[in-house]
Amino acid sequence: MKKFLLLFVLGCLTFATHAQTKIGYANVDYIFGQMPEAKQIEAELKSLETQLKNQIDAKVQRFQKELADYTAAVQNNTIPDAVRANTERELQQQRENIEKLQQDAQTNLQNKHSALMRPVYDKMGKAIEDTAKENGFNLIISETLGGLDVVLHADANTDISDLVLKKLGVTPAPAGSKPAAQTPPAQPKTGN
């Protein structure tokens, strides 16, 4: 993947030098971090994560209590064999249900993340496209892509990130105080 990205960037740069193409770049993570939607999305995902975690924790606590009760009964030899086998099946089923609940919670969080981010990325993409057209850029590349730095060196005049923010109606951070790239909220993990 890294080789493909490097070849893509080199190909774009080669094309640009031959075709007098004006190239710019945008820091999508920085732009997202400046948008008002960023905090709202982070809060919404955190709330959902907390709800799901609480549900899982409640099931785990119930399972642990029943397992402790069962273990104590077995150690004290106060549980008949028929009840013992049935209880073991029930505990195994509870364990499987908890694992499925954890998987479902992760899927739910990922789906919610995608649903919340899709309109933001569409809005940002439209603003990047409009900004590029208005400023005569033929090609805009991302400063980072999937955590990999794509732009190794660029003139600051080709960074359209603040222009895109203005297009989105967001006042960019003052010059010199531009924070390090912020990433969209990570897809939270629940359970083990």
Cα separation of 56 and 104, whole Å? 11
At which residue do the structure tokens 């890294």 appear?
2
Domain ranges of the chain: 21-167
Helix 36-75 with 81-134: angle, nearest 10 deg? 170
Q: Are strands 139-142 and 148-149 parallel, antiparallel or unpaired?
A: unpaired
- pLDDT score recorded for residue 192: 44
- pLDDT score recorded for residue 54: 97
- The CATH code of domain 21-167 reads 3.30.910.20
Cα separation of 149 and 142, whole Å? 9
- pLDDT score recorded for residue 81: 85
At which residue do the structure tokens 């007098």 appear?
20
- pLDDT score recorded for residue 12: 59
- pLDDT score recorded for residue 65: 96
- pLDDT score recorded for residue 148: 66
Q: Report H helices in 76-171.
A: 81-134, 161-167
Write out the chain's pLDDT in tens, 192 residues. Answer: 555 555 565 565 555 555 577 888 888 888 888 999 999 999 999 999 999 999 999 999 999 999 999 999 888 888 888 888 999 999 999 999 999 999 999 999 999 999 999 999 899 889 988 888 888 888 888 776 666 666 645 666 778 888 888 888 888 877 655 544 444 444 444 444
- pLDDT score recorded for residue 135: 87
CB 41 within 8 A of CB 185: yes
Which tokens go with 166? 């203005």
